[in-house]
Amino acid sequence: MSLEVQLLLLLWGTLVGLDLVSVPQIMIARPIVAGPIAGALLGDVRTGLEVGVLFELFQYDVLPMGATRYPEYGPATVAAVSAAHAAAGAPGIGLGALVGLVTGMLGGASLHVLRRLNAGAVRVAAGALEAGDARVLMHVHVMCIVRDGLRAALVTAVGLALAEAVRFVAGALSVRGVTLLGVAAVAAAVAAASAGTLRVVGRGPSLPWFIAGVLGGALMAWVR
Partner 1 sequence: MRSRPRPLLGRSLLRLFTVQGSWNYERMQGIGVGVAEEPLLRDLQEAGDGVAYRAAVARGAHFFNAHPYFCGLAVGAAARAEHDGVPPEQVERLRTALCGPLGSLGDRLVWAGWLPFTSGLAVVGVALGFGMPAVLGFLIVYNVGHVALRWWALRAGWTYGARVALALHQPLLQRAVAWSGPAMALAVGAALPLAARALALPFAGWARSALLAAALVGFVLLWLSRGRLTGLRFGLALLALAALVGWLWR
- 139-168 residues in contact with partner 1 (CB under 8 A) are 140-142, 144-145, 148
Of 83, 162, 163, 178, the one binding partner 1 by CB under 8 A: 178
Binding to partner 1 in span 26-55, by CB under 8 A: 26-28, 30, 32-33, 36, 40, 45, 49-50, 52-54
24: preceding bond cis by omega (within 30 degrees) = yes
Binding to partner 1 in span 187-216, by CB under 8 A: 187-201, 204-207, 209-214, 216
| By CB under 8 A, residue 174 contacts partner 1 | yes
* Pair 52, 35: CB distance under 8 Å: yes
Smaller CB distance to partner 1: residue 3 or 220?
220
Binding to partner 1 in span 52-81, by CB under 8 A: 52-54, 56-67, 71
Binding to partner 1 in span 79-98, by CB under 8 A: 89-90, 93-94, 97-98
Burial 42-81 (b: 16+ CB within 10 A, else e): bebbebbbbbbbbbbbbbbbbeeeeeeebbbbbbbbbbbb
**Residues 6+ positions from 85 with CB-CB distance below 8 Å:** 1, 39, 42, 44, 47, 92
